[in-house]
């Protein structure tokens, strides 16, 4: 089927453009119809297509980096707004990272509304509105972090725990599978799926409910389940002995609520596994509680475990290991190491050899860390400061994390890893709870307190990703809740909770430009190009569980307005 | 508060009346008010209290409030939900909002559709819900050091709480509770709920199994273990499709329009609702056999079959099914 908007686009191109350009534009727009299909093979080589932002993290390595360099540190101040798109509903804000493939932007907003837009003009090509049941209970909110595109289809998870594939040309549903009954499991999907080879890989929430987590792989074309990796081993499986001899393993959490990375050379998917539950009462689950708080490496074809590394055994602080796994090859002392750099909610970054799964280093990305005294050279936690029932325990950082889930960025040009951090603590109370399938299973609460060294505050930093040596830092009043983007033009982009979209010099941290979009930033900025012009796109719209909790710490945040729009910028067109 | 809300709450008081005569007078007054068409708006304090029902006098009782605080902390007071004492969580702030007692009672009992607020009436007694109401309406901050009565949860095996005496019965009779757990077992890919519903729960792709309680144990057993004996239900149109891509789909048709057919593809579970363009179909046949998995005989033990059949018959009979019942 030919793209319905094609003729209009093509006619526009004909004016004053060469025949070659027309053919190229036509070929690109036809790609979703089978012309140059976006396949698993093409996604493996996505670094060779910097004009696209084809996967959630921009590429399988989770760098959130693009080599595009038309917009540079020395000209970013000239950026102008090109277009904006309003999604029309602001509840839940806009948490997503848009994708751009061959000149078309795909965007998912709260309540699983999906849009295809002309990436040059913002013209809406189609809209998909998800029909959800009226009696729906949405255990982890109505927001969504992103989608996947490939094989002429657009994939996303829903607030009531379905995975859906749409025809990328028409926005019509092609397949729809209910992964697990949301009313039973207290879980749903708000992370972005990603495509590896012929499969769509999907995680889910549920780590603070009585639920057993898993990663599912569906055949991209048919929706049939290809494999499922349970994050808690069942009876008879290796690792089951790290749970007590009760039924708690069925309710022990280990959610997979964000998106994994992929190493094609090893055919391994890396995924950060969430906290065990009940979150704060670890007495109910004596043992290491595998594979919660682990990085797992699983075979992309079979879903079988290759290796795991557990960062925090027997967690008592709700410190997920769910954040991004950044894959980088680093040369030190004449030796190149294949590493996985993994920021944890606990304020530490773990550096792991991604071939062997062995510990390389762990270093703190924030100043105030008291849940553990130190981590030794073998990765062992020294001096655990565990909360206990019947008293209050001051823990830094609190469960909100040394940062939230919004992602870091890595530039191979500067060799620096860019990340944000929050200096804060919390008094933890433990309230033992019994597991009830699918129900909240947190068993504690945290009241936010200032850190020992001063006021609650935040910062944006550039680090050596292996040693943790800090290269520059920029102070912020409030946590940064937008993902970061770094480009071949050596610019770091991010946004603040009050609405300012900001550009920094990747080498020095100097602020170069800002634009107020009118609502705080909670999604992922991206960059792409169409017909040789580089664009920067940023979702604007404050909202999420973290944001709802902010007024307790920052009362004025109750008045930070929400929104749901994408803003797109570029350098002025040469006349 | 809308009239609708008032009616729901009144019904709830109505059921209180049946259970406990003590509250009858007050409840009758409320019901009369509703019948007379009086919408009970927060006009004045006395009416508000009258509306708050049987526990009115206790809503300000410090002991009652303190017990509510203890209940609140673990179930409502974590930061993913309403935060300490109802402030500072991911869910709406509860304090300083002059929320109505009856509204709170109804909301805690029934939850709110379209949000993360689930129903708590299965978790708490009405008395306990009133304690929560009292705490939320009070200005008592929170109970950070509260140890709820159920602090034995520390080391207690959840298995012990899930299994009743019934399910530990010897293998020769079934347990409805164990059967229910099997029916809804989320760790088993071929668990019944993947394709069947029971009293509104589960996935209604195939027949609703809360309506088969009158069938004989033998018939139910054969229907699971010997899928050839599955009744042909004409409401479920089973199709075999061959697609241009070479893909073969066996499943249950749900809808059809001029351009496409919607089919539950049951090749792998969970079933996939596929919208297939008619132009992509090379061959379309109707399949005479059920799409039910054929290997339950090797998946379940005899005890598990007894449990399942006892559960399926529970809408009709409370007596457990015995081994001989499956064979007669």
* Three-class DSSP category at B48: helix
pLDDT: is A35 or A41 the higher one?
A41
pLDDT of residue B23: 34
* Model confidence pLDDT, tens digit, residues A81-110: 999 999 999 999 999 999 999 999 999 999
Beta-carbon contacts of B305 under 8 Å, excluding residues fewer than 6 positions away, are B174, B221, B224, B225, B326
Nearest beta carbon to residue A184 from set B87, B157, B186: B186
Q: Which two tokens stand for residue B294?
A: 């054929």
Q: Cβ(A186)–Cβ(A211) under 8 Å? A: yes
Q: Does A391 touch chain B (CB under 8 A)?
A: yes
Q: Domains of chain A: which residue ranges? A: 37-570
What is the Cα–Cα distance from A203 to A262, expressed in whole angstroms? 14
Pairing status of strand A104-109 against strand A348-353: unpaired
Q: Cβ(A150)–Cβ(A199) under 8 Å? A: no
Interface test with B, best of A2, A169, A432, A550 (most B CBs within 10 A): A432
Q: Is A448 exposed, middle or buried (0-12, 13-18, 19+ CB in 10 A)?
A: buried
Beta-carbon contacts of B98 under 8 Å, excluding residues fewer than 6 positions away, are B42
| Pairwise CB contact (< 8 Å): A223 & B148 | no
**Least confident residue range of A491-500, B154-163, B171-180, B203-212:** B154-163
Q: Does B150 touch chain A (CB under 8 A)?
A: yes
- Of the candidates A422, A412, A414, which has an alpha carbon nearest to the alpha carbon of residue A509? A414
Average of per-residue pLDDT values in chain A: 93
Q: Count CB neighbours of A527 within 10 A.
A: 31
What is the Cα–Cα distance from A79 to A194, expressed in whole angstroms? 31
Average pLDDT (A263-269) is 98
Average pLDDT (A292-309) is 98
Alpha-carbon separation of residue A572 from A105, A549, B261 (angstroms): 21, 40, 49
Average pLDDT (B158-167) is 41
Pairing status of strand B260-265 against strand A162-167: unpaired
Which residues of B, range 266-325, sit inside 8 Å of A by Cβ?
A: 267-275
The distance of Cα B26 from the centroid of its chain, to the nearest Å, equals 31
What is the Cα–Cα distance from A514 to A424, expressed in whole angstroms? 27
Determine whether A420 is an active site residue. Answer: no
pLDDT: is B133 or B165 the higher one?
B133
Residue A470 C-alpha, separation from nearest chain B C-alpha, in angstroms: 32
| Pairwise CB contact (< 8 Å): B147 & A244 | no
pLDDT of residue B140: 80
pLDDT of residue B33: 36
What is the Cα–Cα distance from A362 to A454, expressed in whole angstroms? 25
Q: Is A466's pLDDT higher than 60? A: yes
pLDDT of residue A527: 98
Q: Does A546 touch chain B (CB under 8 A)?
A: yes
* Model confidence pLDDT, tens digit, residues B10-57: 333 333 333 333 333 333 333 333 333 333 334 344 444 444 455 667
Nearest beta carbon to residue B74 from set A136, A177, A443: A443
| Pairwise CB contact (< 8 Å): A439 & B80 | no
pLDDT of residue A137: 82
Q: Which two tokens stand for residue A418?
A: 């860019």
| Pairwise CB contact (< 8 Å): A284 & B73 | no
Q: Which of A318, A420, A461, A505 is catalytic?
A: A318
Band of pLDDT at residue A25, cut at 50, 70 and 90: very low
Q: Does A2 touch chain B (CB under 8 A)?
A: no
* Model confidence pLDDT, tens digit, residues B264-323: 999 999 999 999 999 999 999 988 778 888 899 899 999 999 999 999 999 998 888 998
Q: Domain A37-570 - what CATH class?
A: mainly beta
| Pairwise CB contact (< 8 Å): A431 & B269 | no
Band of pLDDT at residue B169, cut at 50, 70 and 90: very low
Alpha-carbon separation of residue A9 from A16, A28, A104, A569 (angstroms): 14, 11, 11, 21
Band of pLDDT at residue A292, cut at 50, 70 and 90: very high
Q: Is A416's pLDDT higher than 60? A: yes
Q: Is B149's pLDDT higher than 60? A: no
pLDDT of residue A237: 97
Band of pLDDT at residue B230, cut at 50, 70 and 90: low
Q: Count CB neighbours of A270 within 10 A.
A: 27
pLDDT: is A441 or B233 the higher one?
A441
| Pairwise CB contact (< 8 Å): A246 & B158 | yes
Average pLDDT (A261-290) is 97
Q: Count CB neighbours of B159 within 10 A.
A: 13
Q: Is A13's pLDDT higher than 50? A: no
Q: Does A140 touch chain B (CB under 8 A)?
A: yes
Q: Dmax of chain B from CA atoms?
A: 74
A250 chain-B contacts, CB cut-off 8 A: 187
Beta-carbon contacts of A421 under 8 Å, excluding residues fewer than 6 positions away, are A347, A365, A366, A402, A403, A458, A459, A461
Q: Quickly tell me which residue has 């749900």 as its tokens.
A: B254
- Of the candidates A174, A175, A167, A176, which has an alpha carbon nearest to the alpha carbon of residue A1? A167
Q: Which two tokens stand for residue A349?
A: 């970054």
Q: Quickly tell me which residue has 């496409």 as its tokens.
A: B260
What is the Cα–Cα distance from B182 to B171, expressed in whole angstroms? 15
pLDDT of residue A26: 39
Task: Give chain B's domains with CATH numbers.
Answer: 3-137 (1.10.760), 170-230+293-327 (1.10.760.10), 237-286 (2.30.30.100)
């Amino acid at each position: 089927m030919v793209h319905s908007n094609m003729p209009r686009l093509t006619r526009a191109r004909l004016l004053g453009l060469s025949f070659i350009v027309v053919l190229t534009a036509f070929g690109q727009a036809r790609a979703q119809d089978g012309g140059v299909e976006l396949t698993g093979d093409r996604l493996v080589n996505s670094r060779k297509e910097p004009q696209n932002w084809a996967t959630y993290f921009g590429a399988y390595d989770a760098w959130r980096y693009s080599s595009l360099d038309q917009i540079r540190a020395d000209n970013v101040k000239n950026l102008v707004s090109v277009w904006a798109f309003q999604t029309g509903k602001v509840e839940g804000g806009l948490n997503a990272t848009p994708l751009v493939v061959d000149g078309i932007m795909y965007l998912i907003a709260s309540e699983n509304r999906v849009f295809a837009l002309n990436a040059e003009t913002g013209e809406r090509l189609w809209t998909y509105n998800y029909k959800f049941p009226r009696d729906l209970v949405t255990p982890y909110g109505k927001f969504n972090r992103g989608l996947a595109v490939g094989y002429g289809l657009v994939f996303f998870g829903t607030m009531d725990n379905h995975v859906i594939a749409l025809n990328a040309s028409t926005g019509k549903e092609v397949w729809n599978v209910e992964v697990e009954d949301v009313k039973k499991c207290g879980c749903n999907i708000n992370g972005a799926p990603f495509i590896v080879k012929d499969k769509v890989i999907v995680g889910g929430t549920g780590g603070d409910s009585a639920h057993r987590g898993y990663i599912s792989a569906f055949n991209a074309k048919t929706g049939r389940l290809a494999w499922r990796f349970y994050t808690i081993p069942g009876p008879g499986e290796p690792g089951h002995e790290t749970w007590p001899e009760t039924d708690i393993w069925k309710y022990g959490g280990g959610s997979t609520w964000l998106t994994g990375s992929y190493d094609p050379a090893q055919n391994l998917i890396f995924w950060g596994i969430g906290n065990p539950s009940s979150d704060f009462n670890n007495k109910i689950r004596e043992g290491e509680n595998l594979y919660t708080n682990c990085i797992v490496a699983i075979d992309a074809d079979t879903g079988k475990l290759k290796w795991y590394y557990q960062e925090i055994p027997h967690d008592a602080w709700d410190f997920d290991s769910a954040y991004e796994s950044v894959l980088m090859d680093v040369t030190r002392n004449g030796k190149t190491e294949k590493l996985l750099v993994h920021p944890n909610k606990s304020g530490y970054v773990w550096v792991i050899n991604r071939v062997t799964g062995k510990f390389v280093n762990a270093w703190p990305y924030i100043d105030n860390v008291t849940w553990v005294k130190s981590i030794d050279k073998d990765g062992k936690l020294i001096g655990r400061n565990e909360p206990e029932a019947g008293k209050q325990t001051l823990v830094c950082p609190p469960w909100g994390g040394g940062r939230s889930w919004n992602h870091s960025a890595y530039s191979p040009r500067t060799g620096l890893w860019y990340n944000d951090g929050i200096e804060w603590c919390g008094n933890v109370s433990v309230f033992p709870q019994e597991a009830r399938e699918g129900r909240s299973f947190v068993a504690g609460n945290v009241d936010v307190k200032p850190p020992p060294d001063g006021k609650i505050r935040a910062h944006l930093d550039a680090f050596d990703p292996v040693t943790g040596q800090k290269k520059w830092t920029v102070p912020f009043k409030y946590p940064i809740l937008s993902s970061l983007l770094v480009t071949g033009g050596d610019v770091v982009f991010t946004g603040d909770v009050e609405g300012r979209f900001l550009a920094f010099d990747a080498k020095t941290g100097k602020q170069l430009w800002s634009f107020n979009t009118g609502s705080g930033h909670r999604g992922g900025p991206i960059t792409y190009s169409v017909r040789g012009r580089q664009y920067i796109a940023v979702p604007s719209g404050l909202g999420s569980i973290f944001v709802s909790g902010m007024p307790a710490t920052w009362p004025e945040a109750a008045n930070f307005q929400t929104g749901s729009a994408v803003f797109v910028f570029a350098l002025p067109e040469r006349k | 508060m809308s009239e609708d809300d008032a009616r729901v709450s009144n019904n709830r008081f109505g059921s209180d009346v049946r259970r406990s005569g003590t509250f009858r007078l007050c409840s009758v007054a409320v019901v009369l008010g509703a019948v007379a068409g009086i919408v009970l708006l927060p006009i004045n304090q006395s009416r508000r209290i009258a509306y708050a029902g049987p526990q009115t006098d206790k809503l300000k009782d410090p002991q009652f409030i303190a017990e509510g605080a203890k209940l609140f902390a673990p179930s409502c007071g974590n930061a993913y939900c309403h935060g300490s004492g109802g402030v500072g969580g991911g869910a709406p702030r509860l304090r300083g909002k002059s929320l109505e007692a009856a509204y709170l009672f109804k909301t805690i009992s029934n939850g709110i559709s379209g949000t993360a607020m689930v129903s708590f009436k299965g978790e708490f007694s009405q008395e306990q819900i009133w304690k929560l109401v009292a705490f939320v309406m009070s200005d008592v901050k929170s109970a950070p050091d509260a140890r709820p009565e159920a602090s034995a949860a520390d080391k207690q095996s959840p298995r012990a709480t899930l299994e009743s005496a019934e399910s530990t019965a010897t293998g020769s009779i079934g347990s409805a509770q164990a059967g229910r757990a099997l029916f809804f077992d989320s760790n088993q890919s071929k668990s019944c709920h993947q394709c069947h519903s029971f009293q509104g729960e589960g996935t209604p792709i195939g027949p609703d199994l809360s309506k088969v309680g009158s069938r004989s144990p033998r018939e139910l057993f054969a229907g699971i273990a010997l899928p050839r004996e599955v009744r042909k239900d004409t409401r479920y149109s089973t199709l075999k499709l061959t697609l241009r891509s070479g893909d073969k789909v066996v499943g249950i048709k749900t809808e059809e329009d001029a351009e496409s057919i919607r089919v539950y593809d049951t090749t792998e579970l969970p079933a996939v609702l596929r919208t297939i363009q008619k132009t992509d179909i090379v061959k379309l046949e109707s399949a005479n056999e059920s799409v039910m998995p054929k290997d339950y005989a090797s998946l379940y033990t005899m005890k598990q079959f007894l449990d399942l059949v006892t559960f399926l018959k529970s809408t009709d009979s409370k007596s457990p099914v015995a081994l001989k019942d499956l064979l007669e």
